[in-house]
A and B are shown apart, each in its own frame.
Chain A
Amino acid sequence: MRVRSCFKLFLILAMLIWINAMMSVWGWAQNFNPVGNVKKCLTCHSELKKEFSKKIIHKPFKDLKCTYCHNPHAAKHGHLLKEDVGILCTRCHKNERQTIKMRGYFHPPFKEGQCLKCHNPHASSSSHLLKAQGERLCFACHVKKQFTKKYQHIPVKNGRCLSCHDVHRSEHESLLKREPKILCMSCHSYSYARLQKIHFGYPVQNKDCTSCHNPHSTKRRHLIRPILHKPFEKRQCTTCHKRPQFKTVALKKNSASICFQCHPDKRKDFYKINSHIGSGVFCLNCHDPHASNAKKLEKQNEAKNCFHCHEDSERDFFNKTNKYKHPLVKEGKCSVCHSPHGSNYRLFFEGGDIKMCTRCHKRQARFTHPIGKDAIDPRSKRAISCITCHELMGTPYQFSLRFDRKKDLCIQCHKGY
């Protein structure tokens, strides 16, 4: 009995000691003030001292909690950051962490976690720690020339990009705050009757204004896009449309024959083995019938036009691991190699694989690894061509090779080396 009491007493004492020890540790952790240590950072990084004079200061920096983001000894990331910038920022900025998981359209730097393209991590004179105020920030990446043509949209002129665009993510293309037609009408609140009158009697109230009007700037009055479809330029609406009716903008025919009546040579382009033919006025899948920024009246720039249906090509295009791409792929010029209407060659090429490449790569036409019908790939038993070894859409290997040329490429076929 006595032994048991002693044992109980010992247990209680041990527990008390343990609790006391834990509380001490907790207290030390609570009272731990890194400022004393971190102040040492500023002794060397004295250039940061002037950051404290700025209007907006990042909270951890203000509190001198440098170790929130930086490792004072060693790190895998630049500037001794503890993690990649995107991950590091979203550790505290939880709303952004949620936003990036959502579906929709994203500002590429936000999606790629390049927060520092727009934000200063320590302090800034602009709100939200932005590197610059208003349009000056946007023009750091977006070519200013496109926004400063003769006729400018008022918000653009005043540098208020955020009147129409969201910064990180949007439900609508081009990061628009709302659906284009609703967004436009929120300022341009014309009556339907007036809108109809302006547009030669056609009821355009439910149409997307940006299909004809450039929302930024153009050289044409009323912000009309620069390249015009001939009938539109001549105001010959009835070439394609029925006469204006009360509620609809009706076409004379709901088929591509409406286009082929003026462009008859294009019809045969579609009647090939591989074809981008579709139903209705399928030309409008890619082309704008009124006005466009592009020479051939494409709706968007070439690559964007293609990615509209070729979603997986878009993913490959933006895949960071495929860093070696053909220069034309990088520029988004799909139609130099692929025929956009139709083709009798594989992958919508405009000619045979080899012919296509040697149009530009003339030296390789004369001197190269054996290619052509007499050089047979032992794996597939088909003739070797340029794309046997190269994947032009992008690979992790130099020269857009399918495998590393220092080890894996050659031994695909040349076994035993």
Chain B
Amino acid sequence: MLILVRFSDGWRGMVKKQMVRKQIYVAMFVLMALLVLPKYSLGWQKKERIKYVFSITRGKDFGSFGLLGSVFFSEQKQRLYVADATNNRILSFGADFNFLAEFNADGALSYPVSIVRDKRGRLFLSEPSRGQVLVVSLVKHAISPLDFSGIPSENNIYPGNLAIDVSGKLYVVDKANQRILIFDADLKFKKQILVKYGRGLEDVKVDDNGFVYTLSTVDGKICIFDKEGKLVFSFGKRGNGHGEFLFPVSLAIGPDGLIYVLDRHKSKVMVFNKKGQFMFEFSEFGWREGRLYLPSYLYINRAGQIFIVDQGNNRISIFQE
């Protein structure tokens, strides 16, 4: 081709044509970059934006943590509640993560693993060791178990993680029956969601639109249900590859609608969009601050603060977008 150009147009023509060709290549490259890069740059930028902020480890006021359960951030009170399971207590921290108070119900708690608080100021604590969810009214100084009678069950209910939505509905993971139990704000049992791909059902979260997200460890699946409890979408796969889970244990929905999944054995938080496409991941295995070792629970508040319960390092690590 070049030889033909050379004989027809001479050297000048060839140089000209080469330059035109170069320009076409550059234009094509720029066009491709414009088309392809935004998809990846979003993930990349977000990853860069997530920074480690702080760790709550041990303190003079509250000693050291036992085996930690879950955490909950009350938007209303701007408080962080921590379920310290093996110490049979609930700890609360301010928005600046200073220790505020400890609550053990005068020794009435038994291995509380999960905690949420509703707008009426009631705390809900799940105690799998007793197979019950406690309702603690701090105003009335009253504690009572949530009424499970009348709920059809094959196995005795094993309450795991809890979630609460904007309308005050309570969601309880029932590991022994692979389902989510839903109670209204008056604590009446409303309905159940039987989770397909529910082997090792571990966590539940609800977004502002009422969509329910569940995570099953053994199946490595995230299921999204609509308000009616109908399965809308599911994604996720166990494996060693990019965007695959080794041992997912918890999930959370960010203020931007992205789905954050905590992988205990990868020591990473993996982030997906609502279509289940992997976007990016952050953190890594380690003992130093900002790293994770056997993390077990993930929570994100409205301000975009990411709370990770790190069982291996016995601390709560806080990241921020």
Within residues 298 to 321 of chain B, which ones have a CB less than 8 A from any CB in chain A?
Answer: 311-315
Contact partners of B113 in chain A: CB under 8 A: 273
Closest to B313 in A: A380
Check if B116 is an interface residue, CB within 8 A of chain A. Answer: no
Check if B198 is an interface residue, CB within 8 A of chain A. Answer: yes
Q: How far is the CA of A43 from the CA of B102 in the complex (A)?
A: 86
Question: A353 CB to closest chain B CB, in angstroms?
Answer: 11
Within residues 182 to 218 of chain B, which ones have a CB less than 8 A from any CB in chain A?
Answer: 198-200, 218
Check if B280 is an interface residue, CB within 8 A of chain A. Answer: no
Question: B270 CB to closest chain A CB, in angstroms?
Answer: 14
Q: How far is the CA of A270 from the CA of B247 in the complex (A)?
A: 20
Q: How far is the CA of A273 from the CA of B131 in the complex (A)?
A: 11
Check if B21 is an interface residue, CB within 8 A of chain A. Answer: no
Per-residue A-contact encoding for B149-169, CB less than 8 Å = 1, 0 else: 000001110100000000000
> Which one, A254, A278, A373, A383, contacts B200 given CB within 8 A?
A278
Per-residue A-contact encoding for B238-252, CB less than 8 Å = 1, 0 else: 101000001100000
Interface stretch, picked from A78-86, A175-183, A212-220, A343-351, is: A343-351
DSSP majority for the A interface? loop
Question: B190 CB to closest chain A CB, in angstroms?
Answer: 21
Contact partners of A345 in chain B: CB under 8 A: 67, 86
Check if A151 is an interface residue, CB within 8 A of chain B. Answer: no
On whether the beta carbons of A380 and B314 are closer than 8 Å, the reply is: yes
Question: B155 CB to closest chain A CB, in angstroms?
Answer: 5
On whether the beta carbons of B130 and A271 are closer than 8 Å, the reply is: yes
On whether the beta carbons of B175 and A275 are closer than 8 Å, the reply is: yes
Interface stretch, picked from B2-10, B11-19, B221-229, B287-295, is: B287-295
On whether the beta carbons of B64 and A344 are closer than 8 Å, the reply is: no
Within residues 270 to 320 of chain A, which ones have a CB less than 8 A from any CB in chain B?
Answer: 270-273, 275, 277-280, 282, 309-312, 315
Q: How far is the CA of A363 from the CA of B203 in the complex (A)?
A: 42
On whether the beta carbons of B155 and A256 are closer than 8 Å, the reply is: yes
User: How many residues of chain B have a CB within 8 Å of chain A?
Assistant: 41
On whether the beta carbons of B86 and A311 are closer than 8 Å, the reply is: no
Contact partners of A277 in chain B: CB under 8 A: 155, 158, 175-176
On whether the beta carbons of A346 and B85 are closer than 8 Å, the reply is: no
Contact partners of B69 in chain A: CB under 8 A: 273
Closest to B154 in A: A255
Check if A145 is an interface residue, CB within 8 A of chain B. Answer: no
On whether the beta carbons of A382 and B155 are closer than 8 Å, the reply is: no
Question: B164 CB to closest chain A CB, in angstroms?
Answer: 21
Closest to A257 in B: B155
On whether the beta carbons of B238 and A380 are closer than 8 Å, the reply is: no
Check if A253 is an interface residue, CB within 8 A of chain B. Answer: yes
Check if A379 is an interface residue, CB within 8 A of chain B. Answer: yes
Per-residue A-contact encoding for B115-133, CB less than 8 Å = 1, 0 else: 0000000000000111100
Closest to A311 in B: B238
Of A309, A379, A380, most buried by chain B (CB within 10 Å of CB) is A380
Closest to A276 in B: B200
> Which one, A256, A270, A275, A382, contacts B64 given CB within 8 A?
A382
On whether the beta carbons of B128 and A380 are closer than 8 Å, the reply is: no
Check if B111 is an interface residue, CB within 8 A of chain A. Answer: yes
Say whether, besides A270-B158, A346-B312, A279 and B111 are in contact (CB < 8 Å): no
Q: How far is the CA of A89 from the CA of B175 in the complex (A)?
A: 49
> Which one, B67, B178, B238, B286, contacts A273 given CB within 8 A?
B67
On whether the beta carbons of A379 and B240 are closer than 8 Å, the reply is: no
A interface with B by C-beta (< 8 Å)? 253-257, 267, 270-273, 275, 277-280, 282, 309-312, 315, 344-347, 373, 377, 379-383, 412
4 closest A-B pairs by CB: A379-B287, A382-B314, A255-B154, A279-B178
What are 25 of the A-B contact pairs (CB < 8 Å)? A271-B129, A271-B131, A271-B158, A272-B111, A273-B69, A273-B85, A273-B86, A275-B128, A277-B155, A278-B175, A278-B199, A279-B154, A279-B155, A312-B238, A312-B240, A312-B265, A315-B240, A345-B67, A345-B86, A380-B57, A380-B288, A380-B293, A380-B314, A381-B55, A381-B57
